[in-house]
Amino acid sequence: MTEGPFHRAQQDLIALCYRGLDSAALRRELARCLRRAVPFDAAAWVTLDPATLLPTSAVLVDLPARDCAPMFENEYLQDDFNKFSDLSKRQPPVGVLGEVTKGALARSRRYGEILAPLGLAAELRAAFVVDDACWGAAAFYRRPEGPDFSPAEAALIAAVAEHVAERLRRALLVTAIDVEELDNGPGLLVLDRDNAVASSPPAAARWLAALFDGASPEESDSRRKRHLVKLGRTGAPVSPTGAPLPHAVYAVAAHARSLAQGAGAHPVNGQRAPARTARLRVRTRSGAWLVLHGSQLTGPGAQAGQTAVIIERAQPADIAPLIVQAYDLSEREQQVAQLVMAGESTDAIARTLHITPHTVQDHLKAIFAKTGVRSRRELVGQVFFQHYLPRLQAGASPGVNGWFAEAGGAARAH
């Protein structure tokens, strides 16, 4: 492609950033405009909390919503190339998977476990940074029969990244929350190893409808109605080929499987240790809090890989305070934890806080003890799955400071 079309595309993209669109509309329009100059088969645009680089909203383009859960797991629980936290520190803040793997895409766990099964191959990622703060990111994908993303295409996205970041920062507005009514009784889902619903009593239908998050504010009502139709008025479960389950269900099921694997890897007196129950607090569009409990089924009659997810209304004791209050981190421990979530190394944290690497390690030990995790990755995953994913999937909108806009001026969760 010649320089002329790329230059025109750059001007068009920058102009879009100053049209006064809200965050979701901006990302949809940017995707439409960019697709003409940099063709792609699927894409994901997310806003990020600049304090933690964890996602607060997503706009998907020709990408199945049901596949967001494994994307989140890869981003925050697994090692891989071109993580958004890494790109946010690069100049330019873009990366092509084929380039960084030297053409060996199979080196990427994301490619092997997520992209290839979706029929995707080439990937280009970008972080949107302004004034040293990352407000969003995007990933673009092509099918195997198409070419890899070129340096010129990556350069085009890099050239507009700061403008996109500035607009995302300015476009974060509070949106209205729909009012919902919920049944009082808990709902139960049994998922097989592929996350298909193996069993679901009728009570689960309305809980799933309450958790379901539309792809955009404009589509939420119609998506919710279609979801209810697929569930059926009798509460029939979602079929393996039907509507996707809410992301929070996938997340708590994945966490339950992870806990079960961890119990098997650390036997006590030669016996498999009992796995802890995965728990996730989720806030619905009406502001009600729900609790999801996940556990892998074992014993007679349980098929391999089956996971039970119970959904119920949260009791007052379940609505835990935000992470700093819940774990009683000191001011210095809060600073260290925030830098860990932003992907900083021990040496980088030491330089930023003007302390020694040994002191950083001491703070990390204290943080791990208070939060009940064993590694940096587990810390990031716990914060994301407990404090971000529930709000993201419950439809909460990010506020002007990057954290979710919540009634009552709640404090930030970090």
382-402: pLDDT as tens digits: 777 777 777 777 777 776 556
State the average pLDDT over residues 29-36: 94
Q: Are 85 and 124 contacting, i.e. CB atoms less than 8 angstroms apart? A: no
Q: Quote the tokens at residue 353.
A: 């806080």
Q: Compare 158 and 297 and report the one with higher pLDDT.
A: 158
Type of residue at 171: A
Q: Is residue 228 very low, low, confident or very high in pLDDT (cuts 50, 70, 90)?
A: very low
Cα–Cα distance measured from residue 45 to residue 247, given in angstroms and rounded to the nearest whole number: 16
Q: Which carries the bigger pLDDT value, residue 326 or residue 283?
A: 283
pLDDT at 103 over 90: yes
- Token pair of 249 as six digits: 């269900």
Given a cut of 80, is residue 414 above it in pLDDT? Answer: no
pLDDT, position 30: 95
Token output for 378: 């587990």
Band of pLDDT at residue 212, cut at 50, 70 and 90: low
Per-residue pLDDT tens over the stretch 295-309? 877 654 556 678 888
Maximum Cα interatomic distance, the chain, rounded to a whole number of Å: 70
Question: From the CB of residue 14, how many other CB atoms can be counted at a distance below 10 Å?
Answer: 15
CA angle 341, 343, 348 (to 5 degrees): 115
Is residue 108's pLDDT more than 60? yes
Residue 333, token pair as written in the block: 């421990």
342 vs 70, more confident:
70
Q: Distance between CA 340 and CA 80 in Å, rounded?
A: 17
- Exposed, middle or buried by CB within 10 Å (0-12, 13-18, 19+), for 196? middle
Q: What is the pLDDT of residue 124?
A: 98
Element (H, E) at 345: none
pLDDT band at 31 (very low <50, low <70, confident <90, very high): very high
Q: For residue 20, what are its two tokens?
A: 């006064």
Confidence of residue 326 (pLDDT cuts 50, 70, 90): low
d(CA 45, CA 27): 7
Average pLDDT estimate for 146-158: 95
pLDDT at site 334: 81
Q: What is the pLDDT of residue 410?
A: 39
Contact 203, 185 (CB under 8 A): yes
* pLDDT over threshold 90, residue 196: no
pLDDT of the residue at 290: 77
Average pLDDT of the segment spanning 205-216: 61
284: pLDDT strictly greater than 90: no
Cβ proximity of 255 and 385 under 8 Å? yes
Distance CA 222, CA 390 (A): 21
Q: By C-alpha distance, which of 369, 379, 375, 390 is closest to 342?
A: 379
User: ∠ at Cα 63 (57, 66), nearest 5°?
Assistant: 75
- What does the pLDDT read at residue 166? 85
Average pLDDT across the chain, whole number = 76
- Helices 68-77 and 376-383: crossing angle in degrees, nearest 10, is 140
Cα separation of 140 and 37, whole Å? 13
What are the tens digits of pLDDT across the range 45-76? 998 888 778 888 889 999 887 767 788 888 88
C-alpha atoms less than 13 angstroms from C-alpha of 20 in its C-beta half-sphere = 0
The rounded percent of the chain whose pLDDT value lies above 70 is 72
Which range (53-67, 172-186, 237-251) has the least confidence?
A: 172-186
Strand order in the sheet with 307-313: 197-199, 187-191, 307-313, 289-296, 278-283
pLDDT band at 273 (very low <50, low <70, confident <90, very high): very low
CA distance readout (Å), 75 to 55, 172, 217, 359, 366: 10, 23, 25, 28, 25
Calpha distance 396→175 (Å, rounded): 8
pLDDT tier at 200, thresholds 50, 70, 90: low
Q: Are 237 and 204 in contact (CB under 8 A)?
A: yes
Q: Is the pLDDT of residue 2 over 70?
A: no
pLDDT at site 378 = 82
Predicted confidence band of residue 293 (pLDDT cuts 50, 70, 90) = confident
The pLDDT, as a whole number, for residue 95 is 97
190-194, 236-240, 313-317, 351-355, range with the lowest pLDDT: 236-240
Q: What percent of the chain has pLDDT over 90?
A: 31
**Residue 114 DSSP one-character state:** I
Walk me through the domains of the chain, giving residue ranges and CATH numbers: 3-171 (3.30.450.40), 187-318 (3.30.450), 323-393 (1.10.10.10)
- SS3 at position 55: strand
